Amino acid sequence: MKTLDHFRRLLASLVAVLGCAALVALPLSRPAGVAAQDPVAEYTISVPIVASSLDIIGVHPFGVQMYGPLSDDAISHESLRRSRVSWIRWEVGWRAIQPTEPVPGQEPVYNWRIDEAAAQARDLGLNVIATILSNPEWASMRSADGEHWYSNGPVDPDHYDDFARFIADMARRYPWITHYELYNEPDNANMMGAESPLAGPYWGLYGKEYADMLKVVYPALKEANPEAKLVFGGIAYDGFADPACANTPETCEGFYRPFVDDVLAAGGGDYFDVFNFHYYPTYHPNWDPFGPDIAGKASYLRSKLAEYGHPDKPIICTEVGLSSGPAPDCKQCTQNDQARYIMQTAARSLSVDMDIVIWWTWKDILDPVLGTHGLVTKDLHPKLGVEAFRTVSLQLGQATFVSSMDLGQGIEGYEFRSRSGRPLYVLWSSDGETHAAVLPVGAATVTTMVGEVTGRVADGADGQVDGRITVNVSSDPVYVEARDA
């Protein structure tokens, strides 16, 4: 819920003006000084991994959200290489590229300002999820009184073909693009936010229209680039509005839960390749009945897709994060807490077969309340999270999930097979106490969440030679990889 076009990102500082105090407690923020209707002048687009200048371990599921230029002085290529990031999520504004309505019978006119950034992404060897947003005024649906237009809400149906043409032309211009995400958190139903200068997302009450738009864009994209993937806009699916507000849209505050059902009921499920959601741990009580933390929400949404005949639709998360300092979603958070959560999120996500997981965000933003979710500071100094992200990429980036583990009360554990085919266990204490985990291997190497090898454990160290080892597990997660005895 923390991308640039999200209305509630600024509510923490504007609540007195906008009168939306009920939303302040949500862990949402928008980088200061960025208008949603016209995103920053530099954009990137999605590219497959080619000859990469980044020292990564192949293509893996883990990435980060980035804003602004991709130059070294903006993001620190050294830290990026260090982290082994494979994916970035990046916003591309339709309005900025095609501000002028096409003239019937003539070719559309574009300002392809993303050329340089696209080349940078390719040179860095990054996969990029292009989040398409910010409609031109001429293509946007207007309010009933005609006074407002929804930059991040529904496209005027008369301009679906223009939108599809824009996406297709982008795909033809950049044939290496593979992932197009259509809008950020489209389930937002906050009319006031959509009609404010912040131009918040506003498809929430228009699920059928979102499906109708997909039906036009999807075939156009596939014709332009059959390898490209159309990604459902990452839904917040938390902080829900009262569903009854659909009868009085001006009263809606929050996200409209029926949006996904409305899209799928209207046949939209056949016109996107990848489903997509957002998750922040402050909402874990909503999803823990379905599985731990992010895994619970993914499992619930997968069951929702299955209700409408799409049980095998790939699912990704394009926003998940935790602060490295005190914030509304973690009042006592530290860099160590953030590092822990990076590793926990990776293991849990892989346990439910998620294809891509995007950490929000790479770099701290200019927000006094929610500005410390980044892995590097605003001055590009790396935090502990860079090392945790690097270690996740190296340890789990090419690992294969085997099963969740029952190791007794107080331990959360997952079994994988490492790139070399060895048993690899990810373990941590879930209650803050230290517990002894017994594992069915004869010897293993223990590595901390930030990549420090703490030693080797062998059968017999506990006084019994039984083909098993005992590892003490605390709140700080560890990787335990089997070795030859």
Residue partners of 354: CB distance under 8 A and separation at least 6: 61, 298, 315, 316, 317
Residue 140 pairs in a beta bridge with 155
From residue 57, alpha-carbon distances to 46, 49, 60, 397 in Å are 19, 11, 7, 7
Say what the pLDDT of residue 24 is. 27
Domains and CATH numbers, the chain: 7-398 (3.20.20.80), 403-482 (2.60.40.1180)
Distance CA 359, CA 64 (A): 5
Helical packing angle, 335-351 and 384-396, nearest 10°: 20
Distance CA 217, CA 461 (A): 61
Which tokens sit at 421? 């085919």
How, if at all, do strands 127-133 and 179-182 pair?
parallel
pLDDT digits 0-9 by tens, 112-137: 998 888 888 888 888 989 999 999 99
Q: How many residues does the chain have?
A: 485
pLDDT digits 0-9 by tens, 376-407: 999 999 999 999 999 999 999 999 999 999 99
Low-confidence residues of the chain: pLDDT under 50 = 2-56
The CB-side HSE value for 228 (13 A sphere, CA atoms) comes to 30
pTM of this prediction?
0.88
Query: DSSP per residue over 118-155, as a string?
Result: HHHHHHHT-EEEEEEE---GGGB-B-TTSS-B-TTSPB
